[in-house]
Amino acid sequence: MREVMTKSMARNIFYGGSLFFILIFLALSAHSHLYIVNSPNSAKLDESVIRGKHVWEKHACINCHSIMGEGAYFAPEVANVMTRWGVLDDPESAFESLKGWMEAQPTGIPGRRQMPQFNLSDEEIRDLANFLIWTDNIDAQDWPPNDAG
């Protein structure tokens, strides 16, 4: 082997390496696409879940809460909140629990972080509950790492 690399050697290494990583990128992109298309969660979206996502976005819940690790860490993670409350399999109980919680806010307890009162309608709370149930059913590969979120 030569001690000095020629221009043609450097060019061949550059083109070969670039081609290799482009092929790896395309293979991983195809794998990701197939995984998302065949994911069991993609078919469960209904109008209520979509409206609940809009409520989540309209009131900027992500500015305080995290969902599946994304967002702020001022308030609890909500990806598994319905499991923590024990209402994952009962949408009516999920609605009642979320409604009771949201209507009790802010609690006025000194020294505690307070959730603002958004004055949501029952339909908005029901849609938000359905969105959180849908989120809780996503296979998040053991995220959050503990039950408390």
Residues 31 and 94 in one domain: no
Taking 80 as the threshold, does the pLDDT of residue 25 lie above it? yes
Amino acid residing at 30: A
Residues 3 and 72 in one domain: no
Residues 59 and 87 in one domain: yes
The total domain count for the chain is 2
Report residue 14: phi and psi, to 5°.
-60, -50
Residues 49 and 4 in one domain: no
At residue 45, the pLDDT reads 83
Look up the pTM and report it: 0.73
- Give me the half-sphere count of Cα atoms (radius 13 Å) on the Cβ side of residue 103: 10
The secondary structure of 25-77 as a DSSP string is HHHHHHHHHHHHHT-GGGG---HHHHHHHHHHHHTTGGGT-EETTEE-SSS--
Q: Is 104 helix (H, G, I), strand (E, B) or coil?
A: coil
CATH code of the domain covering residue 142? 1.10.760.10
- 61 is in which domain, residue-wise? 45-148
User: If pLDDT is split at 50, 70 and 90, which confidence band does 41 have?
Assistant: low
Residues 90 and 135 in one domain: yes
Taking 80 as the threshold, does the pLDDT of residue 39 lie above it? no
CA distance linking residue 92 with residue 52, whole number of Å? 15
At residue 149, the pLDDT reads 65
